[in-house]
Amino acid sequence: MKKSLNKETLAIRAPKLAELTRQVLFDDIWQRDQLSARERSLLTLATLTALGRVEQIPWHIRFAHQNGLTHDELVESFTHLAFYAGWPAAVTALNYLEDNVCPSAE
Identify the residue with better confidence: 5 or 89: 89
Residue of 61, 60, 51 whose CA lies nearest to 86 = 51
> What is d(CA 22, CA 82) in angstroms, rounded to the nearest whole number?
31
Predicted local distance difference test score (pLDDT) of residue 59: 93
pLDDT band of residue 106 (cuts 50, 70, 90) is very low
Predicted confidence at residue 7, as pLDDT, reads 83
The pTM is what? 0.87
pLDDT in tens, 49-103: 999 999 999 999 999 999 999 999 999 999 999 999 999 999 999 999 987 765 5
71-85 and 57-66 are packed helices; what angle lies between their axes, rounded to 10 degrees? 140
